[in-house]
């Protein structure tokens, strides 16, 4: 007998954090992204059949936010959350109004390219976002294009602009990179330190089949 397929999760949790999986769209196609060979994290299926509405996200959050002693709410799923900037802003405002939890956005840093003409970082700040964790993932543009395969030609420059603007706006800002052979982690760390932000290494989760 086959196990019942788990319904896709909009809200899931790891440790003391509640995570929001609001889209599966992404402007990168990173070869190391584990969504290419996994359907989710732990017991949570993150392969969305459709994108949740604002009301659906809030309803799912409402169900668990009081039951889980969470320290923060994090926009991070199987896609780039800033593909849905308006939803991120509205959910953040709702969280801040009703629960005043810390809100973090994990992003590829291409928010300006995905939302042309908008002051994305300032909008995040004004909505109440406290932190951003940006997947810098490379020490130069050539390497970034090779491993992340962005749809935008000027993606790497925009990621750096996003990081710098986030720091200037007063958001707690972190750059991350995956430990893979193509990336010089020392150079990425040096780049982050020159900007004046924290740096963290993400371990590569390989596919074993």
Q: How far is CA 134 from CA 3, 90, 175, 184, in A?
A: 36, 21, 5, 17
pLDDT for residue 205: 66
pLDDT for residue 208: 42
Q: How far is CA 31 from CA 147, 148, 180, in A?
A: 6, 7, 11
Q: What is the residue extent of each domain of the chain?
A: 11-202
Mean pLDDT, residues 93-114 taken together: 96
pLDDT for residue 206: 60
pLDDT-based confidence at 38, cuts 50/70/90?
confident
Backbone phi, then psi, for 112, in 5-degree steps? -70, -35
Question: Who's near 117: CB < 8 A, 6+ residues apart?
Answer: none
Domain covering 11-202 assigned CATH 3.20.20.70 in the classification = yes
């Amino acid at each position: 007998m086959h196990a019942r397929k788990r319904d896709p999760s909009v809200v899931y949790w790891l440790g003391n954090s509640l995570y929001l999986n609001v889209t599966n769209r992404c402007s990168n196609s990173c070869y190391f992204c584990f969504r290419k060979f996994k359907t989710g994290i732990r017991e949570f299926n993150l392969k969305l059949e459709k994108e949740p509405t604002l009301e659906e996200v809030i309803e799912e959050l409402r169900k668990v936010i009081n039951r889980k002693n969470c320290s923060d709410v994090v926009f991070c799923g199987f896609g780039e959350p800033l593909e849905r900037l308006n939803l991120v802003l509205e959910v953040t405002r709702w969280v801040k109004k009703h629960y005043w939890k810390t809100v973090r956005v994990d992003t590829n840093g291409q928010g300006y390219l995905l939302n042309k003409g908008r002051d994305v970082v300032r909008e995040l700040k004004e909505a109440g976002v406290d932190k951003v964790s940006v997947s810098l993932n490379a020490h130069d543009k050539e390497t970034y294009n090779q491993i992340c395969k962005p749809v935008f030609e000027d993606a790497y420059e925009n990621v750096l602009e996003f990081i710098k603007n986030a720091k200037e706006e007063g958001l707690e800002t972190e750059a991350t990179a995956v430990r893979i052979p193509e990336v010089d982690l020392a150079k990425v760390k040096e780049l982050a330190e020159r900007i004046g932000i924290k740096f963290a290494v993400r371990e590569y989760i390989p596919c074993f089949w």
